[in-house]
Amino acid sequence: MLIGARGLRVLSVTVGLAMVTAPISAQEGQGGGPPPAVPVTVVSLEAQNVTLTSTLPGRVVASAIAQVRPQVAGIITDRLFTEGADVELGEELYKIDPATYQAQVAQAEAGVTQAEARLKQANRELERADTLFARNVGSEQVRDTAESERDTAQASLQVAQAALQAAQIDLQRTTITAPLTGVIGRSLTTRGALVTSGQETPLAIIRNIDPVLVDVTQSAAEMLAWRKGITQQKLADIDDTVTLILADGEAYELTGRLRAAEPYVNEQTGVVTLRLEFPNPDRLLLPGMYVQVKMPQGVAENVVLAPQEGVSRDRRGRPTALVVNADNVVEERVLQILESRDNDWIVSGGLADGDKIIVEGLQKVRPGAPAAPQERGAEAASAAPATGQAGQAGQAAGSGDASPAASGAATGGEAAAAPAADETVPADASGAANEAAPADADAAGAAPATDTSADTSADTSADTTAETAADTDVAAAADDDATQPTERRKGRNPRRTVRD
């Protein structure tokens, strides 16, 4: 009985292998022709003139900067500005206790009054000496002495007036004002702090950041080209403005110009510092920010812009690209690259106007293989209609195959149900039942089927039925062997019992 079940399993495996190898044999029979053209996505190239640029690192610098420091000593009594706000020239920022300087002004005013009184007395003495000298009563020496005292009194008055002016200036400096129009930073001191005249630590810093300056470094050789006018000749017909690349990789929307070049070459690095000026109305550029500047260096004529996704490197490190020629055959080209431009390479050799470079499907083709090129823009346009047609075809195929599969499954279930119903037989009749079950299964497996799914269901059901019948026979035989010793001990003959 177990041999029949194993036979069914071998038969199922043999049928499955035949079904799998049949399409392979059919395909091998059709492999005699040329390979089909592989669809690839290409980009048509156009020759053009491109401005070559060099990328230079730099730092943003404020166009004007002023450090606010006290010019008199005293205690800070008040802060009159908002940190980070705009301030105008002469706007009040801090207040210093003015009591000491008010006293100095009062003292200077008293000194001026005293000097004026001395001057008046000297003038009267001089007038009296002149009168006596005119009458020949006084001597000439007396008149000269009075005149000298008058001049001394005038000088003393001027000294007192200057002292008063200095005291007034110090009193005015107790109110610290903005020396520059710009944006003031955070306050570096607090109310109640003692400050001194000309101290090293500033109270605050004011910066003018519209416009801003960008300091970049350039090699001395490139700077010589600028000095000799070679670069200006190359850039005669194009715009010589420079562009800025921010720290996040995005380009700054406004352009700048070269403002000055430092007449000094660094001995250690061999570079020259250039200063560029950029407008900054939105205050996007802040002092100290790292940026990159693209400066024009020349014009490359009759070059192409090749997409970077279509360029790779060979084992020798040379840039290569796969191109579809006029015969729709793939060719490999070795390129000469000048520099990068956004997502493209500026190629001066290896590619020409009208070439079709492969950008998608590079893994599917190799040099010398046929290809079916499709432009990148046209591929996206034709993808939507094709997707809709494929979806409708899939729905139709699914609805058509549903009923045969269901009928095949039902047929297999009916074929498996018949043998399973006869499994309840006596112990002596187990052999006949086991022989009948494989026969029924063979009959069910030999029945003609109209669908692959139905045959698979029938074979599976027959195999399962055979295994169940075999297990039933083994169990029945074990029960029989266990029963016979018990009956013999009782003195009964099991065969006679069955006959009776």
**Res. 140: pLDDT tops 70:** yes
Nearest to 87 by CA among 237, 209, 194: 209
413: Cβ–Cβ under 8 A, 6 or more apart, which residues?
A: 457, 461
pLDDT band at residue 16 under the 50/70/90 scheme:
low
Residue 166, pLDDT above cutoff 70: yes
Read off the pLDDT of each residue in 7-31 and give the average, rounded to a whole number: 49
Let me know if domain 98-173 sits in CATH 1.10.287. yes
Q: Number of H helices and number of E strands within the chain?
A: 9, 20
How does residue 301 score in pLDDT terms, banded at 50, 70 and 90?
Answer: confident
The confidence band for 467, taking pLDDT boundaries of 50, 70 and 90, is: very low
Give CA–CA dist 306/323, Å, rounded. 11
Note the pLDDT tens digit of each residue in 339-362. Answer: 888 899 999 999 999 999 999 999
- Domain edges within the chain: 38-49+302-378, 98-173, 426-500
What integer pLDDT is reported at residue 263 of this predicted model? 78
367 versus 481: the higher-pLDDT residue is 367
Contacts of residue 181, defined as CB under 8 A and 6 or more positions apart, other chains included, come to: 86, 87, 88, 89, 206, 208
SS3 97: coil
CATH code linked to domain 38-49+302-378:
2.40.420.20
On the question of pLDDT at 320 being above 50, the answer is yes
Please report, as a single letter, which amino acid is at residue 126.
Answer: L
Scored b (16 or more CB within 10 A) or e, 255-266 reads bbebeeeeeeee
Between 26 and 227, the more confident residue is 227
The answer to whether the beta carbons of residues 308 and 340 sit under 8 Å apart is yes
Burial class from Cβ neighbours inside 10 Å (0-12, 13-18, 19+) for residue 424 reads: exposed
Q: What angle do CA 10, 14, 19 make, to 5 degrees?
A: 150
Q: Is pTM, for the whole model, over 0.95?
A: no
Q: Could you tell me if 213 and 63 are in contact, meaning their C-beta atoms sit under 8 angstroms apart?
A: yes
| Tens-place pLDDT, residues 231-276 | 555 555 555 688 999 988 899 999 998 887 777 888 888 888 889 9
Note the pLDDT tens digit of each residue in 59-85.
Answer: 999 999 999 999 999 999 999 999 999
Sign of the CA dihedral 64, 70, 76, 77? negative
C-alpha distances in angstroms, 348 versus 11, 239, 333, 336? 68, 22, 12, 6
